[in-house]
Structure 1
Amino acid sequence: MKVTSLDLNLLVILDAVLEEGSVTAAARRLDLSAPAVSRALGRLRTAFGDPLLVRSSRGLKPTAHALALRPRVRALVEDARNLLGPAEEDAPAAWCRSFTVLAPEDLIGCFGTDLLALVRAEAPGVQLRFLGEGRAADEGAAVREGIADVAIAVNASKEADLRSEGLVREPLLGVVRAGHPLSSGEVTAARFAAWEHVVVSRHGRLRTAVDRLLEAEGVRRTVAASVPGFTTALRLVAAGDLVGIVPAALAGRLADPLELVTFPVPLDAKPLRVSMLWHPRHDDDPAHRWLRARVREAAGRRTAP
C-alpha cells in the first residue's frame, strides 16, 4: 500500500465506520452523505487490499485485518485531533466533538445524569456516548483499542500501559424487600446466611468473596442466582425473599422506588473501588483533560443514603 494513496480524512472515515458499524451512522456522525462515505470506504478497501467491513445481520462486521488496524487508526486520528484541535485556552463552549464513556450500566445510573448535566452546561457542542461493558473484552482493552475515551471500572487491576485514577470507594449494603424478616432487628452473620441470596457477577460466578467471609464466621449461605448487574439484583430482591448486596449509592437511588430496606453487611466486606481508566495518548488533549475533570466531579456528586 502506498502511503500517498491515503489522506487523513479517509482514516477519519474508517475510524467512524469501524466505530458505528454502519455507513449511514458514520455519515451522520461526520456530517457527510452516505454515498461519500461509501466511496471513501471503496478507496480504503483498494488501498489496504482487504474488504475491511462485510455485511452481516447486524450491519457491517469488521474483518480480521480491520480489527488489527482499528487501534492504530484510532491512535492516528486522536493524535491528529490533539495536534490540530482546540488550543488549551479555547473555551469548552466552542468545542464540537464527541466522547465515548464505557461503564457498567449500574455506574452510569449512579452518576451518568450528573456527568451529562455538567458536560452540557459547559460544552453544549460535546456529545457523550455511553457504552456497556460488552463492547470490549475488558475496560483496559476498550481504552487501549480506542473503543472508549475513558472507562469507568470496578475493582480494576492496574495496567502498566494505561492511566488509572481512583474516583470513589463505594461501601456495600445488604438489601431485602420491605417486610422481609431481615428488615428489622440485628442482622448477624448467621441470620444473613440463613436466607437465599442473589449475587452479582458479570462472569456468572456463583461464589464470591462474601462466601469466604461467611465461612470464616462458621456459616454458609445458599446462592439462588447470579446476575450481571446490581440493578437486576435489586429487582429480584424486590420480587421475593432473596437477599442482595449492592453499592450504597445505587441502593440510595432505588431503595424507595422498589420498596426495599437496607442494612449493614455483618461482615468485613471491602468497599468497591471505582476507577477511571484512559490511554496516555490523551494526556495532552485539553478537551480530554476537561472530560476527566467532569467525570471526577460527577463521581463526587453521586447519590448515597
Structure 2
Amino acid sequence: MRNLRDPGKSLRAINLNLLPVLGELLRQRSVTKAAESLNLTQSGVSEALGRLRTQFHDELLVRVGRKMVPTALALALAPRLDELLGDLDKLLRPATFEPAAVEREFVIATGDTIILALGDQLITRLSTLAPRTTIQFISIQYVTRRDLEEGKVDFIIIPRGVIPPSAFDEEGLDWMKIYREEWVCITKRDHPRLKGELSLESLNSLPSIACRFDDSSYLHGALPGRTNPDQLRVSQFTLLPLLVAQSDAVALVQRHVAKWFADHIPIDVFELPIPFPQLDVCAFWSAVQRNDPMHQWLREQVAEIVQTGDSPWLPSVAIPTAGVSHTE
C-alpha cells in the first residue's frame, strides 16, 4: 500500500525545478529527446528523473524495450502537471500593461500653481490614453510622509528643500525633478504709481498681497526686500493675480502663473528688484510604488509634459528626465 505522507511536508520537500523536466519526459517519453528539448545533458535529465521517482514513490516512466512507458500515476499527473506549469508560466511572465484598461484614482498632494502648470496636459493625456484613470488633487497642508508611505497619497509635488526635515523628511523617498520655478512681481495693468519698472522703493510704498497657508507654513510668497507688512494673505497663489488686478497692490508669484494670468486679465509682470532663489519643483513617492506599472506610466507622462513643452504655461526652464532618481 502506498505510503500517504503529509501533503504539506511533501510540498516543502519537492524541488519545483524538477517539474518542467517531468512534464517534458511525459511528453517525449525519452530521456534523450527530453534533454534536447530542455537543453540539458542526458545525465542531468536521468538524475532529475531519479529524484522525481524518490519524491513521488513511483517509477513514473518504465523502460519497455526501447521505449519509456508512463505508469498509472504518471498518466494521472500529466494533465494536472500541464495545468500547473501553465499557471506558473503566466505567474512569472510579465503581465501585459494597457493604461487604457486601468481603472484607478491617483491622489496627488500639491499646490494650486503646480496644478495650473500640469493640469491642461494631464487632462488631454488621461482622456486620450487612460480614460478610466482619475487624478484627485488635494492640498499639501495636512499631508504627511506617512500618508505617502501608507499609500493614502500617490505623490507629493512641492519645491525641493523648502520644507525642513522636521516637517517633511525627503530621505529614503523616490523623487524626480519636474521643473524650475522662477519668481516675478505682478501689479494691475498700467499702474499709475509705476513707470515701467519696479524698484525697492516702490515695492515698499505699494500695498501687498501674499500667499501663505497658515502661520506655520514654510511656503510663503513674501516679497523679497519688502519691510512693510502685507495687507492681505491668502492660501492660494492663483488668487493673487485676481486680487492684484482689482487693487493697487503688488504680489510675488511664479513666472508661469504670471504668464497665464497676463494673457487673461489686465496685469503687468515685473522682474524682481533684488535676486531671489529659483526652486526645483519635485515629485516624491514611496519606494512601494517604484515598480507599479501605472504609477511609472503617470510619472513618465508628467516628465514628457515638461520635456516636450506642450503647455504654453509651463516654466521655460525644464528639467530633463535624466533628473529622475531615487535613494535606496
- TM-score by structure 1 length? 0.62
1:281 to 282, 288, 310: 288
1:150-187 deviation line (CA, Å, top 9, x unaligned): 12113454521322222111111100001213653232
Asked whether 1:130 is paired with 2:141, we answer no
* Letter matched to residue 137 of structure 1: V
Distance 2:134 2:259 in 1: 28
Distance 1:230 1:95 in 2: 33
Distance 2:221 2:135 in 1: 34
Structure with bigger gyration radius: 2
| CA pair 220-130 structure 1, distance change in 2 beyond 3 A | closer
Contact 2:221 2:253 in 1 (8 A): no
1:186 to 197, 200, 205: 197
| CA pair 210-109 structure 1, distance change in 2 beyond 3 A | closer
Q: List gaps (5 residues or longer) in structure 1.
A: 1-83
* Letter matched to residue 178 of structure 2: L
* Other-structure match for 2:155: 150
Q: Superposition RMSD on alpha carbons, in Å?
A: 2.8
Contact 1:101 1:150 in 2 (8 A): yes
Q: Secondary structure at the match of 1:181?
A: coil
Contact 1:196 1:224 in 2 (8 A): yes
Asked whether 1:99 is paired with 2:106, we answer yes
* Letter matched to residue 95 of structure 1: V
Q: What's the CA shift for 1:128? A: 2.0
How many residues get paired?
A: 214
2:278 to 262, 271, 286: 271
Q: Secondary structure at the match of 1:107?
A: helix
Distance 1:105 1:144 in 2: 23
| CA pair 183-123 structure 1, distance change in 2 beyond 3 A | farther
* Other-structure match for 2:11: none
Distance 1:248 1:239 in 2: 20
Structure having the higher helix fraction is 1
| CA pair 241-278 structure 1, distance change in 2 beyond 3 A | same
| CA pair 133-187 structure 1, distance change in 2 beyond 3 A | same
Asked whether 1:160 is paired with 2:171, we answer yes
1:65-118 deviation line (CA, Å, top 9, x unaligned): xxxxxxxxxxxxxxxxxxx9x946423223232222222123212211211211
| CA pair 304-124 structure 1, distance change in 2 beyond 3 A | closer
Asked whether 1:224 is paired with 2:231, we answer yes
| CA pair 144-178 structure 1, distance change in 2 beyond 3 A | same
> What is the percent sequence identity of the aligned residues?
23
Contact 1:169 1:272 in 2 (8 A): yes
* Letter matched to residue 227 of structure 2: R
Q: What's the CA shift for 1:283? A: 0.6
Contact 1:204 1:226 in 2 (8 A): no
* Letter matched to residue 176 of structure 1: T
Distance 1:296 1:88 in 2: 24
Distance 1:103 1:269 in 2: 22
Q: List gaps (5 residues or longer) in structure 2.
A: 1-90, 164-168, 316-328
Contact 1:150 1:277 in 2 (8 A): yes
- TM-score by structure 2 length? 0.58
* Letter matched to residue 151 of structure 1: I
